[in-house]
Structure 1
Amino acid sequence: MKVKTIALFAAAVASAAVSGSVLAQAKEQFIGLPSYRVGPYAAGGSGIYGGWIDYMTLVNERDGGINGVKLTWEECETEYNNARGVECYERLKKKGATGNTTFQPLSTGITYSVLDKVAQDKIPMVTIGYGRTDAADGRVFPWVFPMITTYWSQATGMVKYIGQKEGGLDKLKGKKIVYLYHDSAFGKEGIPVLEKQAAKHGFNLKTIPVAHPGNEQQSQWLTIRQERPDWVILWGWGVMNPTALKAAAKTGFPREKMVGVWWSGAEEDTVPAGDAAKGFTAAGFNVAGTNYPVVKAIQDNVYKKNKGNMEDKSRVGSVYYNRGVVHGIITVEAIRVAQEKFGKGKPLTAEQARWGFEHLHIDAKRLKELGAEGFMPDLAITCADHEGSGKVKFQQWDGKAWKVVSDWVDADKDMVRPMIEESAGKYAKEKGITPRDCSKEG
């Protein structure tokens, strides 16, 4: 009898341990991070994923998670390589108690590579400020969220900014603008809308590709010198950016007449260029600096506890780092919104998280509550509109730091949205997709 009692007690303890383990697991929300901390684009990857991880650590440390659900994560190194990105997607998708909540590859090439997979596996792919622009049409791409602003929207914002500097968009007529771009899926994204902008505003557009990784630009700048443009739009990434700024200085092209895409506007792009970067302006959907409550909260609750992700703490508050914080805010807020529908304090499936992303509204009031007022734009995602904002700010490098030189600039939505719908419609036809009726979506 005694042996039987001991056996029953042992079984009960084992059962309780398993139940406790399952319960502990069930109170966690897993997020797979297809990061890149090595290779030619490591500066971007390490900064953004570092900021994102620090924000999730802040939510765990300060708030105890999202309504008691702790965030967990695991990195998978892609080296910004498409094939490795697909491998990471497959490796991460079934991790955690409910599988990977969201896939955010920080690469337009990887985005294209897993576009069909995320729909099949029902995992939301969030591509904040990159990726396939026409995926902003949520009727055709229900599982893809190119949030805040797409490349096409940004390109129209850049032209608006150039127009402001010239004294009005009507003053662009007859001007010459060179589009110096990274010769990749990322770089080619800007061409269609810039061609339409050129036709609309009457400026001459010259497109000049730069081969990966971008440290050879002699012939391109010889062409620019011959073309004598009024402005250069730098659509670069990695080493291409400081190389371009140095080449511009050597050629005598004023950096004040150069406007960069947001992947050209980080400290890692300007500091290596030295004095050649001074006066250069870039678009962004987030700003630099530590003087925002959300960044101060990370410093107080994460770094003071020696739990920060960045080895180089001086990068906290940099453009890339703060962009990672934006990724964290959007991911956490989407999970929070989804919990309101599917149960507070309950871990979500990826399908439930998708609902949260599609119903995510971060207005000015919520931004202030998050300590991110002026840090990022407000946004409102809907079934049909997976972009939700389209706004950019411009910052100028003064030789030591980025200084904000504009308010939020709206995209030319009257131009961009019809392009998005036309392109998405073609994709739907090619793939045999019946677009969703958003009036029936809850």
Structure 2
Amino acid sequence: MTRLSRALRAVALATSLAGLPALAPSASAADETGAQAPKQYFPLATFRVGAYASSGIPSWAGIIDYLRYLNEVEGGINGVKLFWDECETEWAVEKGVECYERQKGGREGSPVPVFLPHGDPVSKALTEKSVADKIPLLTTGYGRTEAIDGRVFPYSFTVLFSFWSEASSVVNYIAEQVGGKDKLKGVKIATVYHDSPYGKETQVPLDLLAKTYGFENIQIAVPHPGNDQSAQWARIRQIKPDWVFLRGWGVMTPVAIKTAAKTGFPVDRIIGGIWSGSEEDVRPAGSVGKGYLAITPFPAGQDFEITKKIKAAIVDQGKSDLKDLKSFGSVYYNSGLIETIIAVEAIRTAQARFGKRPLNGEETQWGLEHLVLDEARLKQIGADGLVQPLRLSAKDHEGGGAGKVLQWDGAKWTIVSNGWVKSDRELLLPVIYERAAAYAKEKGITPRSDDTAEASAQ
């Protein structure tokens, strides 16, 4: 290669990178990892600006505070310390994909073990890329429901609580309130949903559950962003449902709560979905939000053993990523903490096979498919009650399928369900597997065989 061609190639490379989102390195990376120690890169595709920044900022804080805690208190993961950088996505699909492309090559000799898309649309946009690059996508509480079938989606992990499980757990909680599933017949359940693919995701499982248990399944769409819902709640006043399942996002949730109160619908009969159940969703509604319910795999609170440890070692020492400490222990903060615990435990599981060193995506994928977080392990890491027990396999990339129901008391969330409310996974999984098989046929994918999947899970 001539000197001129090398120069032209360098200019072309610089030009191609110029339009990509900037990477913000962790200021703590150099300080928190010794130069001679092995280091594991942990990329963060964040959204600290834009319409959804209020949910993103506490989520990243939960992630970063746990990584700092691991480095400073536990010496990393089996002696392998973690470092990270941030790439701003503004929760936009194009920028999310660009950040993935910027970060997927790793840093400082460390490969990427796992990628957290933090957005349902971007996770779906990365489905095929992640397979080609052998980098697992970890989506907790969102993502493609069919990706539960790892035989078809080997690198997509809809871990913890899929949207289908969310819908089923809501129905099961309502069943508890009315005296059992046999009492659901004739009960009216109206789903007020964000009119988008995300909002429509629960329509198939709710239709199946309604046919199984005999409740009336009413679907009411709210156009994005949901600033005006007078027509929708006028209809609710007319049809008089017994319960409302609210599947919102952003401004739609507090507007729904306030509009419901104006029309006289009791807020303690509204159950918000995963992304309608944060402090940021109810505080703007003011006093009328008192009594509102929500189901979540991310229970709020500061009294879990791991949050107490993080508070003492990170927050109280002025090392937290939080600027507003009132968000410590919030739903979104704990969501970041929970997904990082899952990612770290998958890396730890994989290290037991591949060695105590920085791991790549293919190795971490093995760790995820062999991840077991039982009560004993959760207690060891101080996450019992915070993280539901999980057991993943090649055939089951969800592993949990339960949530806790919270109620807003006007100032904070209180857990009101009797532990984790489980979904009817036995009923839902056959349909999910059928949809995954249809996707495989459409895309020309040869699924891993059941024998291969079972062997992988051993």
What is the distance in 1 between the residues matched to 2:156 and 2:201?
A: 17
Contact 2:372 2:390 in 1 (8 A): yes
- Residue 135 of structure 1 aligns with an amino acid whose one-letter code is A
Identify the residue that residue 387 of structure 1 maps to in structure 2.
Answer: 398
Identify the residue that residue 299 of structure 1 maps to in structure 2.
Answer: 311
Identify the residue that residue 117 of structure 2 maps to in structure 1.
Answer: 105
Identify the residue that residue 338 of structure 1 maps to in structure 2.
Answer: 350
> Do structure 1's residue 136 and structure 2's residue 151 form an aligned pair?
no
- Report how far residue 269 of structure 1 moved: 0.9
> Do structure 1's residue 63 and structure 2's residue 74 form an aligned pair?
yes
Which consecutive residues of structure 2, in runs of 5 or more, have no partner in the other structure?
Answer: 1-33
Identify the residue that residue 3 of structure 1 maps to in structure 2.
Answer: none
Q: Spell out, residue by residue over 1:371-394, the C-alpha distance to the aligned partner (whole angstroms, 9 max, x if none).
A: 111112110111111101111111
Identify the residue that residue 292 of structure 2 maps to in structure 1.
Answer: 280
- Report how far residue 418 of structure 1 moved: 0.6
- Report how far residue 90 of structure 1 moved: 0.9
What is the distance in 2 between the residues matched to 1:184 and 1:30?
A: 34
Which consecutive residues of structure 1, in runs of 5 or more, have no partner in the other structure?
Answer: 1-22
- Report how far residue 189 of structure 1 moved: 1.1
Three-state SS of the structure 2 residue aligned to 1:178 is strand
Contact 1:41 1:237 in 2 (8 A): no
Identify the residue that residue 424 of structure 1 maps to in structure 2.
Answer: 436
TM-score in terms of structure 1 length: 0.92
- Residue 228 of structure 1 aligns with an amino acid whose one-letter code is K
Identify the residue that residue 23 of structure 2 maps to in structure 1.
Answer: none
List 4+ stretches of structure 1 deviating above 6 A.
none
What is the distance in 2 between the residues matched to 1:198 and 1:347?
A: 48
- Report how far residue 222 of structure 1 moved: 1.9
Determine which of 332, 351, 364 is the counterpart of 1:353: 364
Contact 2:40 2:358 in 1 (8 A): yes
Identify the residue that residue 7 of structure 1 maps to in structure 2.
Answer: none
What is the distance in 2 between the residues matched to 1:219 and 1:414?
A: 37
Choose 25-34 or 235-244, whichever is displaced more: 25-34
Contact 1:40 1:213 in 2 (8 A): no
> Do structure 1's residue 397 and structure 2's residue 412 form an aligned pair?
no
Q: Spell out, residue by residue over 1:359-418, the C-alpha distance to the aligned partner (whole angstroms, 9 max, x if none).
A: 111110111111111112110111111101111111111111111111111110121101
- Report how far residue 26 of structure 1 moved: 7.4
TM-score in terms of structure 2 length: 0.89
Assess, with a 3 A threshold, how the Cα gap between structure 1 residues 26 and 422 changes in structure 2: closer, same or farther: farther
What is the distance in 2 between the residues matched to 1:405 and 1:237?
A: 23
What is the distance in 2 between the residues matched to 1:405 and 1:123?
A: 38
RMSD: 1.4
- Report how far residue 304 of structure 1 moved: 2.9
Determine which of 403, 422, 427 is the counterpart of 1:415: 427
Contact 2:297 2:403 in 1 (8 A): yes
What is the distance in 1 between the residues matched to 2:99 and 2:221?
A: 29
Identify the residue that residue 362 of structure 1 maps to in structure 2.
Answer: 373
Three-state SS of the structure 2 residue aligned to 1:387 is coil
Contact 1:108 1:185 in 2 (8 A): no
- Report how far residue 40 of structure 1 moved: 2.0
Determine which of 233, 257, 264 is the counterpart of 2:276: 264
- Report how far residue 131 of structure 1 moved: 0.6
What is the distance in 2 between the residues matched to 1:77 and 1:187?
A: 25
What is the distance in 2 between the residues matched to 1:239 and 1:42?
A: 12
Contact 2:395 2:454 in 1 (8 A): no
Determine which of 184, 196, 200 is the counterpart of 1:188: 200
What is the distance in 2 between the residues matched to 1:105 and 1:216?
A: 30
